[in-house]
A and B are shown apart, each in its own frame.
Chain A
Amino acid sequence: MFEVLISLLPSVLLEGLILGFVYAMIALGYTMVYGVLELINFAHSEIFMSGAVAGAETFILLKGTIANPYLLLLVAIIIGGAVAAFVSVSVERLAYRPLRKRGTTNRLVPLITAIGASFFLQDLVRLIEGLWNNAFYRRYPTFDAFERTYNLPVWLGDIVIILSLFTFFFAIVYLIYWVGVRLARAKQKRPTRNTLYALSGLSILFTVLFSLKYREVLTTDMGLSIQMKSLLVIVVSLAMLFGLNWLVNKTKLGVAIRAVAQDAQTASLMGINPDVIISRTFLIGGFLGGVAGVLFGLLYTLVHPYVGFIPGIKAFTAAVLGGIGNITGAAVGGLVLGMLEMLGGTYLTFLTNGAMGTEYKDILAFVILILILLFRPQGILGQQVGEKV
Chain B
Amino acid sequence: MKNLARNQLLLSLAIALVAVASGFWLLSDPRGTLPFLLTLASLLGAFLLPISKWLKVLIGGAILLIVVPAAGFQNSFLFELGVQIGIYAAMALGLNVVVGLAGLLDLGYAAFFAVGAYTWAIFGSKQANEFMPVKIFPLPGEYFYLFMLLAVVAAAITGLIIGLPALRLKGDYLAIVTLGLGEVVRVLANNLDQPINITNGPQGITPIQRPPVDWFIAIFNQFGIQLDKAQAYPLFFYFLVLGIIGIVTLVNIRLDHSRFGRAWIAIREDEIAARAMGIPLLPTKLLAFATGASFSGAMGALFAAKQLYVSPESFTLIQSIIILVMVILGGMGSIPGAILGAATVTILNVDVLKTASEYLEGLRSSGFTINLGFFKYNFANLPTQLEPAKYERMVFGLIMVLMMIYRPEGIIPEKRRVLEMRESE
Contact = CB atoms under 8 A, between A and B. Distances in A.
A106 B383 contact: no
Nearest to B181: A366
Interface stretch (A12-20, A95-103, A246-254): A95-103
A201 interface: no
Nearest to A354: B194
Given A127-B394, A131-B385, A131-B386, A112 B400 contact: yes
Contacts of B397: 115-123
A62 interface: no
B420 A119 contact: no
A120 B397 CA distance: 5
Contact of B187 (A39, A136, A316, A362): A362
A185 B391 CA distance: 50
A191 interface: no
B272 interface: yes
Contacts of A360: 187, 191
Nearest to A306: B393
A101 B317 CA distance: 30
B105 A108 contact: yes
A246 to B, nearest CB: 29
A105 B103 contact: no
A357 B171 CA distance: 32
Contact of B404 (A116, A119, A362, A363): A116
Nearest to B270: A389
A319 to B, nearest CB: 11
B401 A113 contact: yes
B393 A355 contact: no
B331 to A, nearest CB: 13
A221 interface: no
A134 interface: yes
B405 A99 contact: yes
A111 interface: yes
B344 to A, nearest CB: 16
A115 B397 CA distance: 7
A126 B386 CA distance: 10
Given A120-B394, A355-B195, A359-B187, A98 B405 contact: yes
Interface in A200-231: none
Contacts of B176: 40, 313, 316, 369
Interface stretch (B44-52, B161-169, B284-292): B161-169
Given A113-B405, A374-B165, A374-B168, A108 B103 contact: yes
A123 B385 contact: no
A369 B180 contact: yes
A176 interface: no
A228 B175 CA distance: 38
Contacts of A352: 195
Interface residues of A, number: 55
B228 interface: no
B385 A103 contact: no
B99 interface: yes
B41 interface: no
Interface in B79-113: 99, 103, 105, 107
Interface residues of B, number: 56
Contact of B172 (A111, A113, A123, A124): A111
B272 A389 contact: yes
A109 interface: yes
Contact of B391 (A109, A127, A320): A127
Contacts of A110: 404
A369 B177 contact: yes
A351 interface: no
B180 A370 contact: yes
A124 B183 CA distance: 24
A37 to B, nearest CB: 11
A104 interface: yes
B131 to A, nearest CB: 14
B147 interface: no
A255 interface: no
A40 B423 CA distance: 22
A70 B386 CA distance: 36
Contacts of B332: 108
A217 to B, nearest CB: 29
B404 A99 contact: yes
A357 B425 CA distance: 50
Nearest to B195: A355
A373 interface: yes
B272 A130 contact: no
B206 interface: no
Taking each of B166, B318, B383, which has the highest tally of chain A beta carbons within 10 Å of its own beta carbon?
B383
Contacts of A313: 176, 179-180
A95 B406 CA distance: 11
Contact of A108 (B99, B272, B422): B99
A239 interface: no
Nearest to B171: A107
6 contacts: A116-B398, A122-B394, A123-B394, A130-B386, A313-B179, A355-B195
Given A112-B404, A127-B385, A370-B165, 20 more contacts: A39-B172, A40-B175, A99-B405, A105-B424, A106-B421, A107-B172, A108-B99, A108-B103, A117-B401, A119-B394, A119-B396, A120-B401, A122-B394, A124-B394, A309-B317, A313-B176, A357-B191, A359-B187, A366-B180, A373-B177
Interface of A: 39-40, 95, 98-99, 102-113, 115-124, 126-127, 130-131, 134-136, 309, 313, 316, 320, 352, 355-357, 359-360, 362-363, 365-366, 369-370, 373-374, 377, 387, 389
The 4 closest A-B CB pairs, nearest first, are A116-B400, A130-B385, A120-B397, A123-B394
